[in-house]
Amino acid sequence: MSLSPMMQQYHQAKEAAGDALLLFRMGDFYELFHDDAKTAARLLGLSLTSRDKGENPIPMAGFPHHQLDQYLAKIIAAGHRAAICEQMEDPKQAKGIVKREVTRVVSRGTVTDDALLDPQSSNYLAAVVTDKAQERVGLAWVDMSTGLFACAPLSPTQVADQLTRIAPAELLLSVDQRDAMPTTWTLDRTITTRPAWAFGQKQAIELLARHFGTQTLDGFGFNCESPADLMALAAAGAIVEYLTETQKTDLSHISTLTPMREGQSLEIDAATWRSLEVTQTLRDGRRDGALLGVLDRTTTPMGARRLGEWLSYPLVDVAAINARLDAVGELVDQSQLATAVRDTLKNIYDLQRLIARVTTGRAGPRDLQCVGRTLATLPALKAKLTGRSSTLLAGIESRIDLCPELRSRLETMLADECPHLARDGGFIRSGANEKLDEFRELMSGGKQWMANYQAAEIERSGIPSMKVGFNKVFGYYLEVTHAHIAKVPPEYIRKQTLKNAERYITPELKEYEEKVLSAEERVLALELELFAELRDLTARVGPRLLSTAAALADLDALASLAEVARARNYVRPEICDEPVLEIEAGRHPVVEATEPAGSFVPNDCVCAGHDVLSAESPAPSPEPQAPSILLITGPNMAGKSTYIRQTALLVLMAQVGSFVPARKARIGVADRLFARVGASDELARGQSTFMVEMTEAARILNTATHRSVVVLDEIGRGTSTYDGLSLAWSIVEYLHNAIGSRTLFATHYHELTELAEQLPGVANRNVMVREHFGKIVFLHQIVPGAADRSYGIHVAQLAGVPKAVSARAEEILAELEATGHRVDTSHVAPAEPAVKKPSKNGSLQLTLFETTEHPVVAQIRDLDLNAMTPLEALQRLNEWRKDL
Ligand code: ADP
């Protein structure tokens, strides 16, 4: 069957678009055909019709062109990509079939339109590539809407952690590696596959150097000899290749590539990230209810995104942390300054996303106007920052570039009200361009020209009552009453006779008329031309605007931290290099914010990392060392998780450079933060809870150091009590003996509290509860010592379990306790503690890990049953029973 020329054109474009839905522009509509039409009908609720209704109807669906944005949003939200195929010439002027081309491919990771983006979050496109043996991984990520571009050489175990923090909107993978990638990297992600060559290392270096206009990539801090760096660069190259291929625009706002290396920031793995709910809640992924929700009081989207970045990558350098704390401190102390800064920031637009749209050629007049208005706000902001004592604030002052030439150009050229789209016209201020004023004058009927012309002709002809008029049939004319006909100049051409007047046209009027009629088109054309000039001018200033934008983002994030610190009464933490943790009256930032004011019970936390590896030659310590491990026991609902989570959050906040909710805090910089708290969400990933728990525990035991902070909740829940207890026991021992990290271990295994007697670095804490008329009251207060019982039945009662059930449980408990069955350790399978340490008195450890069999067992083994009568056997049984 032969295809119509247009359908041939369609198929060519569709081939180029690959698996993206092809939006094929036909007149005022975007149409989709074949399978794309079916998908779109389902996805977008369009009605499915057909083209060539005959033997081979082609499924078709479409929507009016001005609804493009709205449909794009739905397409990409559903994880699809859309290739937009435009008409490249005016159909009226086209000879034969209209030329069409795919002008860009829109996907989740490449959008720059505000309508398709969350202003407060970064929108990353990421790429992952591995070597053949899957030993080295390269990860790169870019925010096309702001220009931020980074890459990291990683080991396979780090990939899922990084991806969790970056949360890319779209992930590029090589088509031949896609299936071999672990699901923890790919599950629930929008994936776009690219040909294998797009990830080539050599081509990446060339492509990146060309993109940045540099000879080598050394200047960015890469070593092109290093296999690890090459992997990272290969991923970065794949991103640039993809953007070039799909966006077909200038990408110069992506002006630098930052290498992210291990040890540059606080390492936080995926499970910790989720369980601490730093940027979003575990249950429903909201910002409210997460730490970011409490700390974010920014006034600009740039600030909100910057704060998110800071929380994702807390610092590890004491000086850098103190620099942020100095700036926050200055803003806290000078509340008037802080208020003034925040008020001024309210007039700042999202400069980063504006510039991204300007350089990619997608900006409209209102975007330029927003750039101009932002520039107009800068002098006041800069003035407020002069003479600041903290280095960061002073630095921000000098990084703010007022760009006066651009500002004045935008202000003189743009009208007070600008439309979104340039094609709507009317955005160049009158008086800004003479030609344009003239065209506009013509367009609006040119009253002045008319008056002038009329006056001149009256003067020349001596006909005082002559006037210029307009009608649809003749256009412009001169009207002369019969009384003056004799004086009409000879060159006038008579067109119409009325009762008492004649109407004439003149060559000048005709010429003028033509001008008027084409003026509308010319006004728009000229406005578009002027707009393009303004846009190019802005794009040229782009790099200066972007570094100003970065300074504004920093300022807003700092001001936000100061505002929260002031409003919530946080203090500046003392930051040091020694692995200590001394928190006085610490509070949970999020729980505190949700509970009625003043009802949160503050708690202390003191512990210190022990450098167990170099403990062979310990420097004699003058004072007793703080414990490295705090074992926290207490009934359910007492506040154990809240307490350990709050400690981890305070460490993270301090390393972000934020003040912390406490009366006083001294915090030694952590290299890694581990938290396993609350329900695991990994079940959905097809792994059993226990397997997940152990994988995570293994991760901690294999990577934590004495500089790390570890908080663990109820390790060993997912298996039988004895298994669980044994594991929890040996994990604590290992953390104590082989790692020495600052550890908070919340547990309902009451038996573990005996560890405090055996290991010098372990101390017990419990959460106070009071019994009050048979009910328990949670005091949420952490005190030294072990909890004496677990109160589970009381809690069950509080939760509304029928009275009969809780009463019976009390009975069973009493019985078990009386017969000593609560910890029947004789059933514990032989287990080898990971690191053996001779126990001082070893009582519980012995009972736990004792493997000698009971003497009765030997006697049973030695019995010669064939030589015994049933009565004898019964007697022996009776004796044993007595013995036991
Ligand atoms: P656990 O881990 O011991 O079961 P949680 O930490 O989940 O207990 O705390 C249970 C509830 O008690 C929390 O939801 C919180 O509302 C409240 N809570 C915990 N700690 C405090 C505190 N220090 N001050 C006030 N309320 C608290």
Other beta carbons less than 10 A from residue 553's beta carbon? 27
Confidence of residue 875 (pLDDT cuts 50, 70, 90): confident
The mean-pLDDT minimum among 11-15, 393-397, 819-823 falls in 819-823
Residue 167 · residue 161 · CB < 8 Å: no
pLDDT of residue 803: 84
CB 629, CB 760: distance < 8 Å: no
Which pLDDT value is given to residue 87?
92
Q: Quick check: CB of 636 below 6 Å from ligand 1?
A: yes
The answer, yes or no, to whether any atom of ligand 1 lies below 6 A from the CB of 254, is no
Highest mean pLDDT among 3-17, 156-170, 671-685: 156-170
For ligand 1, is residue 601 a contact (CB within 6 Å)?
A: yes
Q: Pick the more confident residue, 447 or 290.
A: 290
Q: Quick check: 509 pLDDT over 80?
A: yes
In one letter, which amino acid is 884? L
Question: Quick check: CB of 769 below 6 Å from ligand 1?
Answer: no
Q: Indicate if ligand 1 lies below 6 Å from the C-beta of 748.
A: no
Ligand 1 centroid – CA 487 distance (Å): 102
Determine whether the shortest distance from the Cβ of 593 to ligand 1 is under 6 A. Answer: no
Residue 684, pLDDT > 80, answer no
Q: Work out whether strand 137-143 and strand 148-154 pair parallel, antiparallel, or are unpaired.
A: antiparallel
Paired strand residues for 143? 148
According to the model, what pLDDT value does residue 688 have?
60
Task: Tell how far CA 835 is from the center of its chain.
Answer: 41
What CA–CA distance (Å, rounded) separates 782 from 792?
A: 18
Q: Whose CA is nearest to atom 9 of ligand 1?
A: 639
Residues 446-462, mean pLDDT to the nearest whole number: 84
Widest Cα–Cα separation across the chain: 158
Range picked from 59-73, 230-244, 756-770 for highest mean pLDDT: 230-244
Ligand 1 atom closest to Cα of residue 599: 25
> Is there an atom of ligand 1 within 6 Å of 641 CB?
yes
Question: What pLDDT score was predicted for residue 192?
Answer: 94
Kindly state if the Cβ of 639 falls inside 6 Å of ligand 1.
Answer: yes
Q: Whose CA is nearest to atom 16 of ligand 1?
A: 591
CA distance 671 to 266: 5
Mean pLDDT over all residues of the chain?
88
Helix/strand/coil for 759: coil
Q: What is the pLDDT of residues 193-224, one digit of tens each?
A: 999 999 999 999 999 999 999 998 999 999 99
Question: What is the spatial distance between Cα 631 and Cα 825, in angstroms, rounded to a whole number?
Answer: 21
For residues 323-349, give the mean pLDDT: 96
Nearest CA-CA partner of 209 in 246, 227, 232, 236: 236
646 Cβ below 6 A of ligand 1: no
In angstroms, the CA 612 to CA 172 distance is 43
Higher per-residue confidence, 357 vs 842: 357
Q: Tell me, in angstroms, the distance from the centre of ligand 1 to residue 639's CA.
A: 3
Name the residue with tokens 């070597």.
Answer: 131
Distance, CA of 713 to chain centre: 27
Asked if pLDDT for residue 749 goes beyond 90, the answer is: no
Q: Give distance in angstroms: CA of 780 to centre of ligand 1.
A: 7
Nearest CA, atom 13, ligand 1: 639
pLDDT digit string (tens) for 261-299? 988 999 999 889 988 999 998 888 898 999 999 999 999
Instruction: Say if residue 843's pLDDT is above 70.
Output: no
SS3 letters across 689-753: HHHHHHHHHHHHHHHCCCCCEEEEECCCCCCCHHHHHHHHHHHHHHHHHHHCCEEEEECCCHHHH
The single-letter code of the amino acid at 138 is: G
CA separation, residue 535 to residues 112, 114, 243, 644, 681 (Å)? 16, 18, 21, 53, 48
Report pLDDT for 621: 55
| Mutation choice for ligand 1 from 780, 783, 790, CB with most ligand atoms inside 8 A | 780
**CB of residue 642 inside a 6 A radius of ligand 1:** yes
Give the CA dihedral 301, 305, 311, 317, nearest 10 degrees: -110
User: Which of the pair, 642 or 862, is modelled with greater confidence?
Assistant: 642
Burial of 812 (0-12, 13-18, 19+ CB in 10 A): exposed
In a 13 Å sphere around the CA of 706, the CA atoms on its Cβ side amount to 20
The answer on pLDDT for 396 being more than 90 is yes
Lowest mean pLDDT across 47-56, 166-175, 359-368, 573-582: 47-56
- CB of 331 within 8 A of CB of 218? no
pLDDT at 725 over 60: yes
Q: Considering the entire predicted model, what is its pTM?
A: 0.82
Query: Does the beta carbon of 661 lie inside 6 Å of ligand 1?
Result: no
Atom of ligand 1 nearest to the CA of 778: 12
| pLDDT of res. 853 | 65
- Mean pLDDT of the 117-137 span: 93
Number of Cβ atoms within 10 Å of the Cβ of 187:
12
Nearest CA residue ID for atom 18, ligand 1 = 639
pLDDT tens readout for residues 783-833: 898 876 656 777 777 777 888 888 888 888 778 777 655 443 333 333 333
| Nearest alpha carbon, ligand 1 atom 19 | 639
Q: Which atom of ligand 1 is nearest to the CA of 642?
A: 6
| % of the chain with per-residue pLDDT over 90 | 60
From 587, 623, 593, 589, select the one nearest 608 (Cα to Cα). 623
- Asked whether the beta carbons of 807 and 788 are under 8 A apart, the reply is no
pLDDT at 852 over 70: no
Question: In angstroms, what is the span from residue 811 Cα to ligand 1's centroid?
Answer: 28
Over residues 511-566, the pLDDT tens digits come to: 888 877 777 788 899 999 999 999 999 999 999 999 999 999 999 999 999 999 99
